[in-house]
Structure 1
């Protein structure tokens, strides 16, 4: 099994095909970009602390530390005396399955068509143009997603979720106190949306000609809707938004205990962008962020001596 110990900034190009990527980094930044042609490439532009260990076993490429396992990743905390940071950029085939874990690091994943899984303790994640299924788990980090066309699953303790121009057939999200903004572009067929929060605010924007059965409930927060076909009820206690849009083939269910819920209508002439801010809803949207590009240069993924021994950059 080829293995490299990356102790300083440098580049690697991998000759063998890559179908699965696993990256785990503490502090710094991870950029993963899907490309249609060329070999998988790695660039480490900044590195502090212990070396990164890079291995390729079959079609699986792993970039991590020796003491940072993927299993129970969200329970791992970086203790005193182990200061580390890395800025890592990877270009992999667009069909690659990607698994990224970050502790205090930012993650950017773009152009991937395979399954994408992102886990973060406190780092923020940005997901752009992903067509495969996506699962994102965070403790306090936020997730910002744009132009997703695959199913999205999100869970967090206090991290926020912002989804813009989603063509996803399914968006499911659970959070304790994080806010959620979900903007459905309407290009992926009837929406299937399920959002749950204890105290976080929820805002959902649907196409002008929406097509869904709607049920939104807040135990003590406010609710509002810009759809004339939907009914807003409840003056005391639980407040609800119910009804059917279009033929009702899709599904929209949102529940919160103390947070507010706003359903917004995307006009036909709306240009791409962040959902309009509701009067009593969450604010903000993702910045325009893209993965750092990589050039084709760098050391070969095969050690110079032709063996599969560990190599220090």
Structure 2
């Protein structure tokens, strides 16, 4: 039998029944989800506007407003949803949840800032303008946002990000498959050591910067229609005609794959120092000058 709660003031709930799936739909505020042992727990510390509806049924825990549905937060519906909630009664909720590591997570919000930590199951996040922070997530991640930023640290599950103008930053990325599509948001990716990631980064006008560990092992194919290209690797070949530029080649044993495509956004390939070097590689990559080729 389903259990239901209506929360209209700051509240703490502990759930005796097993939780295997979490679905949260909010408008503004914050949503924090952390993996933890023991029974699932929910804490609402701030709440403004209509009450939250909490339901636990057959392992699925749902936290939402009565008039919101999951389809409101689909990638195609986000723009319409933004206009709707801006004209409605102000809603703000700060919600924190502790759930088992293998809980499947599905979060949708307009402008709530989201933090997800330690989850080993699939994670889906749809956001209009709120930031998304992922820490130590080992399950596959599908994050979609219009203008919100996405920050991923030590994420080892497959990572897929779609953004219009939001910033994507990946630190210590260990995903086997990493795919990002952006229109104008900057994309910065730092790969972990001993990684054989298959990387695909696409941007229109935003810049793309990728830092690869040394010794590097990857097949590289980067191209831009009119943006600048810079590289810290002498092994890579430079080509292109007119304004278009290509950077290709194989680093080390080529176990990883890197594909970067931009229209007018710049592309930078950086070298992460070997462990014995210590510190950060602060040497600026060489900007590839095509002026002489153009003159020829």
Is the TM-score greater than 0.5? yes
Q: What is the match of residue 62 of structure 1?
A: 62
CA–CA distance in structure 1, aligned partners of residues 115 and 279 of structure 2: 20
Q: What is the match of residue 51 of structure 2?
A: 51
Q: Secondary structure at the match of 1:88?
A: strand
Q: What is the match of residue 3 of structure 2?
A: 2
| Aligned residues of 1:222 and 1:280 also touching (Cα < 8 A) | no
| Aligned residues of 2:231 and 2:285 also touching (Cα < 8 A) | no
Q: What is the match of residue 133 of structure 1?
A: 140
How far apart are residue 277 of structure 1 and its match? 9.0
How far apart are residue 249 of structure 1 and its match? 2.3
CA–CA distance in structure 2, aligned partners of residues 223 and 15 of structure 1: 56
Residues 1:124 and 2:131 are matched in the alignment: yes
Q: What is the match of residue 210 of structure 2?
A: 204
CA–CA distance in structure 1, aligned partners of residues 286 and 40 of structure 2: 46
1:259-274 matched pairs, under 5 angstroms: 259-269=265-275
The structure with more helix, counted as a fraction of residues = 2
Q: What is the match of residue 197 of structure 2?
A: 191
Q: Secondary structure at the match of 2:226?
A: coil
CA–CA distance in structure 2, aligned partners of residues 137 and 190 of structure 1: 24
The counterpart of 2:219, out of the listed 213, 222, 225, is 213
From the superposition, tell whether residues 102 and 29 of structure 1 become closer, same or farther in structure 2 (CA, over 3 Å). same
Question: What is the aligned-residue RMSD (CA, Å)?
Answer: 1.9
The counterpart of 2:156, out of the listed 149, 157, 163, is 149
Q: Secondary structure at the match of 1:76?
A: helix
| Aligned residues of 2:232 and 2:285 also touching (Cα < 8 A) | no
Q: Secondary structure at the match of 1:71?
A: helix
1:231-280 Cα shifts (integer Å, max 9, x gaps): 2333731111100011212210000000000001111136688x869679
Q: What is the match of residue 222 of structure 1?
A: 228
Q: Could you list the runs of 5+ residues in structure 2 that have no partner in the other structure?
A: 288-296
| Aligned residues of 1:223 and 1:232 also touching (Cα < 8 A) | no
Q: What is the match of residue 24 of structure 2?
A: 23
| Aligned residues of 1:157 and 1:175 also touching (Cα < 8 A) | yes
CA–CA distance in structure 1, aligned partners of residues 257 and 165 of structure 2: 25
From the superposition, tell whether residues 96 and 239 of structure 1 become closer, same or farther in structure 2 (CA, over 3 Å). same
Aligned length: 278
Residues 1:99 and 2:106 are matched in the alignment: yes
Q: Greater relative contact order (Cα 8 A, min sep 6): structure 1 or 2?
A: 1
Residues 1:76 and 2:77 are matched in the alignment: no
TM-score (norm 2): 0.90
From the superposition, tell whether residues 44 and 277 of structure 1 become closer, same or farther in structure 2 (CA, over 3 Å). farther
1:123-162 Cα shifts (integer Å, max 9, x gaps): 0111100011011000010101100011100001111100
Q: For structure 1, which segment, 19-28 or 75-84, has the greater mean C-alpha deviation from structure 2 after superposition?
A: 75-84
| Aligned residues of 2:33 and 2:117 also touching (Cα < 8 A) | yes
Q: What is the match of residue 33 of structure 1?
A: 34
